[in-house]
Homo-oligomer: A and B are copies of this chain.
Amino acid sequence: MVKINDNYSKLPGSYLFSTIGKKVREYSGLHPDKKIIRLGIGDVTLPLAPAIIDSLHSAVDEMGKAETFKGYAPDLGYEFLREAIAENDYRLRGCQIAADEIFVSDGAKCDSGNIQEIFSTDSCIAVCDPVYPVYVDSNVMAGRTGDYDSDMGTWSDVIYMPCTADNGFLPALPKETPDLIYLCFPNNPTGAAVTKARLQEWVDYALKVGAVILYDAAYEAYITQDDVPHSIYECQGARGCAIELRSFSKNAGFTGLRLGFTVVPKELECGGALLHSLWARRHGTKYNGAPYIVQRAGEAVYSEAGKAQLAEQIAYYRKNADYIYNGLKEAGYTVSGGVNSPYVWLKTPEGMTSWAFFDHLLERANVVGTPGSGFGPSGEGYFRLTAFGSYENTVEAVDRIKAL
């Protein structure tokens, strides 16, 4: 008699964004006349840039002709894309990352969910609190966590690193020693950024205790401050302890096109095994490459025209982040994030819980955000707003909140 993976049964309720979606659908159903503005889920709204559209059309044409048709992609991704990434995202920033250390994928969500597979199931993970739910849930599914404490909203056998106003939303080095450390900077959900000096402390720590850092840099395009690193490989020694996950979703609007990549340095090893070989084996066995046309679109992100057009898109979203940040601050809210990030993290007023504030904003301002408690217990009493809406909607949403 077949049995299920019992770890799935431990997972409470459904995924945060599904719950939000359901609440919004219910409210809309009851109030079809209300104009709801969504600053919740981190989905972009600007259309793909012209350089990317041109590249897609031309790749589609190639797929329609026998001479240029492309079937199965190379396991690691096409050389043209991996070279463009290595050059632009790494070598130009002074990081020594080779093209064959880059694994192209269909997105950082998949990679951040799958990367844990190459580590032993008794590895102890450390995560920030609040945290992007995928890091934790994928480890629950793999059996790396104990039991869920529904009062606390935490799992036993997981090291939580609180990110609170007291520490500027930057985690302290953990007291217990983890095997795997998930870090995401600029952070989702708090929008906090880490300086190179602070990140270097994490790299030194991981090297000392023999841990691997899984570094999610999906939001690096929003960095404005000079002392904030775009890649963990800007830190000394990171090649010996860090895997980096990247996305094309937030810098180039690929949320519906699906493209990302993971960097695994060739010398990164655990007990004599090369993580690069393990991830390559996983990729080769369970994955079949991102679509050729999407990889060509990714290449266009690094073209002259692509860079210029995407700089404008980022500037557009940054202007939204500024409007949210400054508008709410003027209205008396306590806000952080936003400066190096598309996310603004605000303290709920008058001690409201995150979900109470969610309902309050949905019902009173018809604005959708994300309850901080959905990201972990230290997120309780906080709320995330994203800069990915249109400027007009963002202004309207913030003005509605200010008028409450």
In the complex, how many angstroms separate the beta carbon of A103 from the nearest chain B beta carbon? 15
Tell whether A211 is near chain B: CB-to-CB under 8 Å. yes
In contact, A64 and B43 (Cβ under 8 angstroms): no
Task: List 9 tightest A-B contacts by C-beta distance, closest first.
Answer: A113-B286, A1-B210, A2-B179, A43-B71, A53-B64, A3-B120, A71-B255, A47-B69, A70-B256
Once bound together, how far apart are the Cα atoms of A258 and B286, in whole Å? Answer: 13
Q: Mark A111-140, 1 if CB is under 8 A from B, else 0.
A: 001100111111100000000011001100
Chain B nearest Cβ from A67, distance in angstroms: 9
* Chain B residue at minimal CB-CB distance from A63: B48
Residues of A at the B interface (CB closer than 8 Å) are 1-6, 8-9, 11, 14-15, 18, 41, 43-48, 50, 53, 56-57, 60-61, 63-66, 68-73, 75, 106-107, 109-110, 113-114, 117-123, 133-134, 137-138, 141, 143, 179-180, 209-212, 253, 255-258, 270-271, 273, 275, 278, 281-282, 284-294, 390
A278: min CB distance to chain B, Å:
5
Which residue of chain B is the closest to A9 with respect to CB atoms?
B273
The reply to whether B2 and A119 form a contact with Cβ atoms under 8 Å apart is: yes
Chain B residues closer than 8 Å to A179, beta-carbon distance: 1-3
Residue in B53, B122, B211 whose beta carbon sits within 8 Å of that of A63 in the complex: B53
Q: Are A45 and B66 in contact (CB under 8 A)?
A: yes
A278 and B106 in contact, given A256-B72, A293-B257 (Cβ under 8 angstroms): no
Name A137's contact: one of B114, B138, B285 (CB within 8 Å). B285
Looking at A6, A11, A256, the one whose CB has the most chain B CB atoms below 10 A away is A256
